[in-house]
Structure 1
Amino acid sequence: MSSDRPTVRHPSAGPDRRLLGGLFAALLMACSALLGAGAPARADGAGPGPTATAIVEALATAPVYVDPSFAAAVTASQQRELADRITATGLPIKVVLVPLKKGDAFDGSAKSLAAVVQERLGRPQLILLTNDEYGSWLRGTEWPEDTHQARDAAMAVGMLKELKEAGLAARVGRAVELIGTGRGTEVYKAEAARADREYAARPKAKEEAAGSTSGGPGTLLAIAAALVLAAAGAAFLVRRRRSPRHTAFTFPDAVFAADQAADEAGLRRQATTEVLALGKAVDGADPVATPGLGRALDAYDAAGRVLDAARGIPDLAGVLALAAEGRSALAAEPRLPLCFFDPRHGAAARRTTWRPLGRRERVDVAVCEDCARALHARRAPQVLAVRDQGRTVPYFEVPADRSLWAATGYGSLLSGPDDTLAARVGTGEFSRARQESEDRGATEE
């Protein structure tokens, strides 16, 4: 992810006409992009590939739609066989296999494809199996969400060794079977555990594991220190959650991030690029040699969900944090999350203890180099600002029950290796926090 970020002029600085002109041009470009980016508005556009109308009309008479470009991979006879298997389940399963490219009716997004098809079909209960942006992984989406484990069923198919060289028709058929039997999550977890065991059984992995556990007192001290810091972060988070009232952090002379329309449009494009890049990395990963593939898949799915529902810069920054979490899961060694103070700063360079002004307790956070230098110089770092209850405040000042990002510090305040941003999105914490915030706003109005 690029570490470049826009220069923020101090409010006391005089106007710069060239800067204003550049911002105006960027704003015009952003508005143009926003006006042309809505998938439903383009669903029947003139772009390449099938339109939503053509797909929905075909699904009215058969549960399987296969674009002609996929005809060799899923023949007419295989389509009929899939239709019979779907009928046998008694579930409202639909299959849509189409090529996805930037500029098509769905702007190359499997998530947009699923959303548009569901909207056009107008069915409150639907299970949709589609290919992903790269054509080799399947994506399962259902309404109501996760009722029949379609998401896990689709991901499990991509990890099954017996389907490694299988064709698209066989993969779809197995996904339909898993959904019909309700074993999607069971098989997905079993395959992820198998990949972990096979990785651990490799001689190189054993040597690395032996080396990592024979570090002597220094290693034990490092582990102990990490546990203490994690406990401190958890205690800070619990205290915030339990306390109905707390003193707001104050940042004298802090330069808050500018939440302008042009910035949001640019961040949305960046977030989309990050999700697509993570999907490509996941697609190319070796399940045996990548013990964190399951977590990377979870992060990829969660990032897509948050991107679809993002309503501003804080959520889009969360997409960046989820994408970083997925890349960390794919890496040989775990990486630090993005910068606690503002994920747009990029990857953190180190962890440090920080005591907010007006507070006694310290909290362990991951920070970028710029923020680390600011803290060392006893200056307030640049933070991600949000509007809450009519005030502009640091994002972490929002009560944790109304912001997943405040509760987790975009990854810095997670309680342990099994506590991930993707897991919290998967359990509905992102949706619940957003609904709580909306309810609170409606009550205050």
Structure 2
Amino acid sequence: MSALSLVKRPRSRRLALLLAVLAFLPLTPAQAAPPELPDQIAAAWRTDHLYVDAAMRQGFPQAELARIRAAASSAGFPVYVALIPRTPYTRQDQLDLPTLLQARVGEPGLYLVWTASDGYWSGTEKLVRPGGLRGRSLIRVQLDDKLDNKIVTDRPAPKIVRTIQQAGTAYDGRPLPEIPVSDLTPELIRGRSTSEKEELSGYVGMGIGGLIGFVFVLTRVLRRRRRPARPAAGPKSPATVDHRLASVRTQADRWIPKAGRALRSFEKRRNLTAEQLDLRDDATARLAAARTLRAGASADDRADDQASGSTGDRKAGTPDILALTGAFVLARQAFQLVSGNDLQPPCFFDPTHPSGTHRAAWSDDIEVPACKTCAQTVERGKTPHGLQVKAKTGLFGSGFVPYWNLDPDESPMVATGFGALSDDLAERVTRVYGGVR
């Protein structure tokens, strides 16, 4: 046997081994990326409108599921329910999940997404009516339901069933049934909690402000009747602007009570950790600032501004839409803190959009949080339309401009980008405006 054959034999063995390995590779298919969570839930809803995450199915109390199914089947309209664990994804996008899911399903109905964390359940909901059908808003029904925040949250069925019942009332005006005693939390401490007292003071302040505003408007109307009519100083605001102001006001009025209910539910938990106590205090401060801003955007401010041809706040000189938007942003963040979601900054360009979960290059060295739509607009080299406010343009005119063109020294909302540039909006609001006005 030659030396050359001894060298070739090991090489031939290695080549044969390599070919054998390659022969088996096609038998192992490539693993496709799993579909996104909204796609998984929407696909499962095609066969069962009650989705339970795979990680929770084993050992999930069947009595809870049976009760949810019974309430959904008797609702009289489609009800879609998703029970999922609290994860980084759901903490970030839980508030938007019902909207994302409804877009995938494409049908009217009640969409509920409930998540569990540390033995407590919380959720968000969206009621979509068939085209042309009107009724009460779900949030208004929940506000009128005095026992809504007294329902236990250590299991999902009580709150989900009650939300389905509330949606039925909003849908066709049916009366709310009684809540079983077993679904109500025991009142450990008699009297109102701190947050309830704060909320009551907020409503009292708003009521007093509304009464003063009514008297003020009546006085100005009587005075103006004695004067000759003057020609209009300029074109009126477009109807779209009035609609936008009403929309922002509705969002603020929805999220402030919602955050208040979530905070009271959070306070009732036993043995709160130091971290949870910090979250509670942070949420309390943001909610108090939201109520301050909402009370400031009252009827007397609007009447005075309309008479002078501009919209403005007595103290800070900023439009009502800034105060209402700030109230909405702070209330939404307070809800995020006590419902187990990650605290999200608002979209810098338009804080009424979904939270700023993306980054957008505002200049060469500055990035700002933005919603997906605004971030994509910036990527295309354009500037988003932004939150429009009325301001002076030129020597004598006025028009609507993006809010960031205003003087930041005149408003904490402009100075902080509603908290997108610096997360101290609540502190600044308290410092500038004080308590609930």
Give TM-score scaled by structure 2 length: 0.39
User: Which structure's CA Rg is the greater one?
Assistant: 2
Give TM-score scaled by structure 1 length: 0.38
